[in-house]
Chain A
Amino acid sequence: MAADDDVESSSEELCLFYKDREEWKDVTPVPQDDGPHAVVRIAYSERFQDVYNYFRAVLKSNEMSERAFELTTEAADLNPANYTVWHYRREILKALNKDLKQELEYISEVIQDHPKNYQVWHHRRVLVEWLNTESNELEFTALILKIDAKNYHAWSHRQWVIQTFNLWENELAYVDTLLQDDLRNNSAWNQRFFVVSNNTDCDDATVEREVTYTKEIILKAPNNESSWNYLKGIVSTKETIFNYPGLDEFCQTMYDKQLKSPYLLAFMVDMCEDKLEAGVDKETTLSKATELCTLLADTIDTIRKKYWDYIKKRLVSRFSEN
């Protein structure tokens, strides 16, 4: 909090309080009111108090003016999470028919300072909706993702922009660059599925390409939850994982090399279950599946022992020859 205090004291030196400005003399400020019985002892920044006293006043009188607009800028600057301020600002933007492109530039700055704030991203989306243009949304979200590749708001906004303005073309390539940076980025894997499932029919060629792509990444870092989830997800659009060509050998090879990743083993358990459902090699497969579950429960993934015991029990009760 100390850093915020420093910023505020320097701003206070530059700006006149609203209560001291001639052009605001016609407005009666509305003080903080936390309820009828609260005794409010105010010790926080005078500037904050001043700005919000006047904000509450114009909100009350519903003033739609340039000075009220500037006031919202200050109010948002002091507390960007205040949703009432942003809502009011949007009303003024409309009422005064203000330059939305300029507003887009403004909100870009604010988002960069507060990238995890719901209100500023929603504000941006509304602006883009009003402008009805893709503007530089892909570029902007990429900028934010460069700083934090998992920013949930950025991804969500990006998805909306892509869907609304049909910007699918280069998205897979973009996702690939992020995965090159961090192959454990679950958001990037999710985006991959988003593109493939929305923009293609998940045809055989696409799925094959995706499976090859994912297998390569798994080989680089086998203990990666996202890549295994994706593999299962993408194959499942077409086929059970057991039936998909090459996956059985792919897993078995890693297993034989003593690679004891819990995700590999979990995937193999899933494949066994598919095999059992198809009635293939029941006895051997069940034995293999229960062996894997035991390994996971007792050695490899002991924190989830209860889960693996449950899976083993479920497999046995469903498929044993009793």
Chain B
Amino acid sequence: MIMMCPSVAGTPLKDVTIKADAPSELLLQKHVDYIAAYSDKVNDYEYVMTEYLRMSGIYWGITALDLMKQLPKMNKEEVVSFVKSCQHDCGGIGASVSHDPHLLYTLSAVQILSIFDAIDAIDVDKVVEFIRGLQQEDGSFMGDQWVSDICGEIDTRFSFCAVACLALLKRLDVINVDKAVEYVVSCKNFDGGFGVRPGSESHSGQIYCCVGMLAITNSLHHVDPDLLGWWLCERQLPSGGLNGRPEKLPDVCYSWWVLASLKVMGRIHWIDKSKLERFILACQDEETGGIADRPGDIVDPFHTLFGVAGLSLLGSYKNQLKAVNPVFCMPEETLTRLGVRTQLL
């Protein structure tokens, strides 16, 4: 239920209220079943409509299952084969078969193969070449290539995707890291946050990407951790949930973007843990399994992953959930196996 909550000074703030009978325990098996059954729904309208992000959808499902210690529920051979079939000649990887190559899905693909320890299924050199070619003169990254004079989208999300992907492949050296950092820093705002491009409003999702990018490139000294940390912990509303920017409703995915950013900056304890945990648990669907953006809404794999990952970061349900890496949103043990480390404050 969404309502306007009276604040201290009597003026309304946006938030939700959690019903008394909302789920209050982790329904782990239900989420496992939900994710495992999701890829069977190939006849579902929603499944078909999200083909354009299938690679990310698979990454969300695989990571959620692995964090819940149920990765074997996924058919590894099938998935690896699918990923392989999505790599183009240019090296870039598309969301699905016959979808154009894109940095977003290239990262998801590399994350999937890293978790499955099957990175050799694709041509790594070509992936690296694809990413290298996306860096612009000002250090920014396009999401996909120039074709004739059609300019690609520039977005700090892509700066993150590029360095995260290259870090997983141990090939960060191929890009101009200093310039890449310079561009991200140019997106820093007066409130300490980061936006999609220079001047754009601070947004929790973009902040996660920028902070993550700076952590990967050992450049966190460009962040004011107390200032940004305060802006981030200000995302927590009375319901316990986190929003993406001031005066917006809480959403479970921000439990990840905000929390992970705070973790990287060594300030995760600035969030009221028990209140956030209560919010995330309330977003579960007791009947279908899965987690939604806010209590009572329809679930999806995206929010299921970020809800579970958020709980893991909080240190909740330690026996049932694997530790998650705050920069890559992958099981910590995968990063350890790969020998990939980032800066953490």
Do the two chains bind?
Answer: yes
Which of A's residues lie within 8 Å of B, judged by CB?
1, 4-5, 30, 32-38, 40-45, 48, 56, 59-60, 79, 81-84, 87, 90-91, 94, 118, 122, 126, 129-130, 150, 152, 155-156, 159-160, 163, 184-187, 190-191, 193-194, 197-198, 221-226, 229-230, 232-234, 236-237, 259-262, 266, 300, 303-307, 310
Interface bits B13-51 vs A (CB < 8 Å: 1, else 0): 100000000000000000000000000001111101101
**Are the C-beta atoms of B200 and A156 separated by less than 8 Å?**
yes
Identify A190's interface contact among B9, B151, B201, B269, CB under 8 A: B201
Once the chains are docked, how many angstroms separate the CA of A130 from the CA of B269? 49
A79-B49, A229-B246, A261-B8 given; 8 more Cβ-contact pairs under 8 Å? A34-B96, A41-B42, A41-B43, A83-B99, A83-B100, A91-B148, A222-B9, A304-B236
Once the chains are docked, how many angstroms separate the CA of A155 from the CA of B270? 30
| Contact A87 B147, CB 8 Å, known A152-B201, A233-B190 | yes
Residue B54 is within 8 A (CB to CB) of chain A in the complex? yes
Once the chains are docked, how many angstroms separate the CA of A38 from the CA of B43? 12
**Are the C-beta atoms of A262 and B247 separated by less than 8 Å?**
no
Once the chains are docked, how many angstroms separate the CA of A240 from the CA of B272? 31
| Contact A303 B191, CB 8 Å, known A4-B45, A36-B81, A48-B48 | no
**Are the C-beta atoms of B11 and A223 separated by less than 8 Å?**
yes
15 pairs, A vs B, C-beta closer than 8 Å: A1-B45, A4-B45, A35-B81, A35-B82, A37-B77, A38-B82, A87-B150, A118-B153, A156-B196, A186-B201, A186-B248, A190-B195, A193-B190, A229-B191, A266-B230
Interface size class of B (residues with CB under 8 A): 35 or more
Which residues on the A side are within 8 Å of B75 (C-beta)? 37
Residue B98 is within 8 A (CB to CB) of chain A in the complex? yes
**Are the C-beta atoms of A45 and B78 separated by less than 8 Å?**
no
User: Smallest Cβ distance from B274 to chain A, in angstroms?
Assistant: 10
**Are the C-beta atoms of A224 and B201 separated by less than 8 Å?**
no
**Which residues of B (214-250) have their CB < 8 Å from a CB of A?**
229-231, 233-234, 236, 238, 240, 245-248
Which residues on the B side are within 8 Å of A300 (C-beta)? 8
Identify B45's interface contact among A45, A59, A232, CB under 8 A: A45
Which residues on the B side are within 8 Å of A152 (C-beta)? 196, 200-201, 203
Closest B residue by C-beta to A186? B246
Residue B97 is within 8 A (CB to CB) of chain A in the complex? yes
Residue B189 is within 8 A (CB to CB) of chain A in the complex? yes
Which of B's residues lie within 8 Å of A, judged by CB?
7-11, 13, 42-46, 48-49, 51-54, 75, 77-78, 81-82, 85, 94-100, 102, 144, 147-151, 153, 189-191, 195-197, 199-203, 229-231, 233-234, 236, 238, 240, 245-248, 267, 269-270, 272, 275
Identify A306's interface contact among B9, B96, B191, B270, CB under 8 A: B270
**Are the C-beta atoms of B81 and A81 separated by less than 8 Å?**
no
**Are the C-beta atoms of B151 and A129 separated by less than 8 Å?**
yes
Which residues on the B side are within 8 Å of A261 (C-beta)? 7-9
Identify A221's interface contact among B11, B44, B149, CB under 8 A: B11
| Contact A44 B48, CB 8 Å, known A34-B97, A156-B197 | yes
Once the chains are docked, how many angstroms separate the CA of A229 from the CA of B97? 46
| Contact A33 B98, CB 8 Å, known A87-B144, A261-B8, A307-B233 | yes
User: Smallest Cβ distance from A117 to chain B, in angstroms?
Assistant: 11
**Are the C-beta atoms of B11 and A303 separated by less than 8 Å?**
no
Once the chains are docked, how many angstroms separate the CA of A159 from the CA of B195? 12
User: Smallest Cβ distance from B4 to chain A, in angstroms?
Assistant: 11
Closest A residue by C-beta to B10? A223
Which residues on the B side are within 8 Å of A42 (C-beta)? 42-43
Once the chains are docked, how many angstroms separate the CA of A123 from the CA of B49? 20
Once the chains are docked, how many angstroms separate the CA of A34 from the CA of B42? 9
User: Smallest Cβ distance from A51 to chain B, in angstroms?
Assistant: 12
Which residues on the A side are within 8 Å of B247 (C-beta)? 150, 184-186, 225-226
Which residues on the B side are within 8 Å of A234 (C-beta)? 190
- Which of A83, A150, A160, A186 counts the most B-chain CB atoms under 10 A from its CB? A83
Once the chains are docked, how many angstroms separate the CA of A15 from the CA of B140? 44
**Are the C-beta atoms of A34 and B11 separated by less than 8 Å?**
no
**Are the C-beta atoms of B42 and A91 separated by less than 8 Å?**
no
Once the chains are docked, how many angstroms separate the CA of A235 from the CA of B284? 44
Closest A residue by C-beta to B190? A233
Once the chains are docked, how many angstroms separate the CA of A41 from the CA of B51? 15
Once the chains are docked, how many angstroms separate the CA of A115 from the CA of B229? 31
Once the chains are docked, how many angstroms separate the CA of A81 from the CA of B49? 9
| Contact A260 B98, CB 8 Å, known A186-B247, A307-B270 | no
**Are the C-beta atoms of A190 and B202 separated by less than 8 Å?**
yes
Once the chains are docked, how many angstroms separate the CA of A194 from the CA of B197? 12
User: Smallest Cβ distance from A210 to chain B, in angstroms?
Assistant: 12
**Are the C-beta atoms of A43 and B203 separated by less than 8 Å?**
no
**Are the C-beta atoms of A225 and B234 separated by less than 8 Å?**
yes
**Are the C-beta atoms of A84 and B191 separated by less than 8 Å?**
no
